[in-house]
Structure 1
């Protein structure tokens, strides 16, 4: 029911320009809501850039309060994002804090590329924790990138990803953190109290690696 006199006349007088402005505002709001679910952090870097896969990366200064940035000595053909890392030489546990909507489902990927950054040729081992819970023990490699993934539903309003030193002289470090929001319908058969850890990802019958452009887009179309 119309609450104002002549409202039909007023609505009819909306100009095309006003309609376009309104549409653009709605699109902008939609894009903002998507970007909040897409976070790619280049650990040890202060720069923001877009890589060859059209992924926008940001530095990690706003997500962590400790650690030291380092540059790897060898690249072995890995991507640009693996060229820097953040190493933690103080405290037994250091954490990244990333804002997230409580009760939402996320895929979290942590990547580690040693690259002989300390010139010791001794890749370390340490524990990875998520929101205060043990996630996995990471054994880094002198050869290539090591990564781990988890899918879980947040209990608070942030994702707390922590690295814990477990052995003397083996300093935790991290190269990249990627977070992707997933639609609530995905994996809804799994109890929300449990997390799903990556075991293996295989494209049977494929002859080359397959890249999904966006996990968020994939979740929307599933």
Structure 2
């Protein structure tokens, strides 16, 4: 665990010579003080390791997921892998929904990234045989995005990112089988953000990353941690003449009070523009296998004037022909992040235009841009107490063979087998009203957790190998209790017998049981 690892580090620290302690403290800070969770899915080795590029610690996924099969990419693609996470993966050939659960802080804002490298791990060439290969992602109980790997290069990694608020002390990420390819995942990364960042993200709105770019001439295609302390991915875009690449070595600072995005200075030290005889330019996002026809976008533009002189640069910003911002002038060596807070746009080509105004001497420039897709968090999770009791029951009876993953009731189409939920109150969390575990191979006593589920109306535990006595259920909501074909002994609790005799409870039991108990 993280605690055990930290204790071990402190013990090691006491043995390290003084001249090396500073570097060791820096390492501990990188690994443990960032609050990052990094998971290498399907990793066969039970030990954690430090990523060679970022220095970040990656852990195996065994403690975060149930089910699935650990696999490795085909040997022919191993040499092309740029990191260890690409080499292993976990596939889910069974079940319509399989979920990872990551620890979080309730109400905290997070960046969650999932990465997928097929690598022809199954030898079936599913991304290149022309057939449809896609599966879904849920963030908690809400649809996040589709992973479409149809006609995809098996050695190329696709990633999905969502910015969301933790609904509880854990966040669930679920892979959904659409019947068009077996879902799999290579890595999962959870990164805490400042509460003030991305103010349009709230408990009812999450945002799915469509594109995050930096513009200019830099050697790395991808910029991430430690340059960006939140480990956001910034993809470098470079274009030939007549595009002009601007750059500076000056520090580019955020404007006072503008801490909504915290763009690193290094990202803002480069920019795109055009020759002075051009009036403007357009930028667009194009993602293979991505359809924006029915999506709503929220663009964020990051500007800083990094020209060495003191130019007069003013321009208008358009989204698919609609004027978003007029007569904008970027600040010199300071970050201006421009967005329309909470307003999502219809822009099926993700195309944006920047045109200089009539009194501007220079065409526009742009340093960086982010584009997000609206993710509605409309589905309500199951009542938290019901969830906890069902988890206790699952553990009590070791029901690992059941495909009980994610939220028990939500979304409806993926509710747990054997459960019936009440969705009648539109503004309240669903409640579990029926549990059917008949013929489920249950052994031992009747779990006391059932008696705490205050909305439970129907409990069927028949045709199992239950032993011992019936707990004294004090559930006024319970209408049907089926305990037939078990090996239960002892008297029926008075509270249950009283409700049975009053006709308030349909109690189904074995005649032998009743004869032994002396009630018949």
- Distance in 2, matches of 1:205 and 1:108, equals 27
| Structure 2 contact 165–201 (Cα < 8 Å) conserved | no
Deviation of the 1:206 alpha carbon = 3.4
Segment of structure 1 superposing worse, 188-197 or 93-102: 188-197
- Aligned counterparts of 1:55 and 1:194: Cα–Cα separation in 2: 29
Whole-angstrom CA distance in 2 between matches of 1:88 and 1:172: 6
**Is 1:144 matched with 2:156?**
yes
Secondary structure at 1:54's aligned position in 2? Answer: coil
Alignment partner, residue 7 of structure 1: none
1:79 aligned to which of 75, 79, 83? 83
Contact kept? 2:51, 2:58, Cα under 8 Å: yes
- How far apart are 1:188 and its partner, in Å? 2.2
Q: Deviations over 1:10-50 (max 9, x none)?
A: xxxxxxxxxxxxxxxxx9xx969835x30000000133100
After superposition, where does 1:1-222 map in structure 2 within 5 Å?
Answer: 34-35=33-34, 37-45=35-43, 46-52=46-52, 53-73=54-74, 74-75=77-78, 76-123=80-127, 124-140=133-149, 141=152, 142-167=154-179, 170-209=181-220, 210-213=223-226, 215-216=229-230, 222=262
> Take 1:155 and 1:178, find their aligned partners in 2: how far apart are those partners?
18
Check conservation: 1:70, 1:117, Cα contact below 8 A: yes
CA shift, 1:211, in A, is 2.8
State the alpha-carbon separation in 1 of the partners of residues 111 and 59 from structure 2.
18
Structure number with the bigger relative contact order (C-alpha 8 A, sep ≥ 6) is: 1
**Shift, 1:65, TM fit:** 1.0
* 8 A contact 2:199–2:260 mirrored in 1: no
What secondary structure, in the 3-state scheme, does the structure 2 residue paired with 1:199 have? strand
Residues 128, 138 of structure 1: 8 Å contact kept: yes
Query: Residues 103-157 of structure 1: CA distance to partner in whole angstroms, max 9, x if unpaired?
Result: 0000000000000000000133100111011111101332400101011111121
* Separation in structure 1 between the aligned mates of residue 261 and residue 162 of structure 2, nearest angstrom: 21
Q: 1:138 to 1:217 in 2, by over 3 A?
A: closer
Q: Is the 8 A contact 1:182 1:215 kept in 2?
A: no
Runs (5+) with no aligned partner, structure 1 = 1-26
Shift of 1:191: 4.2
Q: Which moved more, 1:58-67 or 1:182-191?
A: 182-191
Deviations 1:156-195 (A, max 9, x none): 2111000010015x11000000010001011124444211
Distance 1:189 1:95, change over 3 A: closer
Is the contact between residue 167 and residue 203 of structure 2 (CA under 8 Å) also seen in structure 1?
A: no
Q: How many residues align?
A: 192
Partner SS state of residue 205, structure 2: coil
What is the alpha-carbon distance in structure 1 between the residues aligned to residue 192 and residue 126 of structure 2?
Answer: 35
Q: Does the 8 Å contact 2:164/2:202 carry over to 1?
A: no
CA contact (8 A) 1:180 1:215 kept: no
Cα separation, 2, equivalents of 1:116 and 1:217 = 28
Local SS of the residue matching 1:215: coil
Q: 2 CA distance for matches of 1:145 and 1:40?
A: 16
User: What TM-score do you get using the length of structure 2 for normalisation?
Assistant: 0.35
Q: Distance in 2 between matches of 1:87 and 1:145?
A: 15
8 A contact 2:81–2:155 mirrored in 1: no
- Runs ≥4 in structure 1, deviation > 6 angstroms? 217-221
Write the distance in 2 (CA, Å) between the matches of 1:162 and 1:203.
30
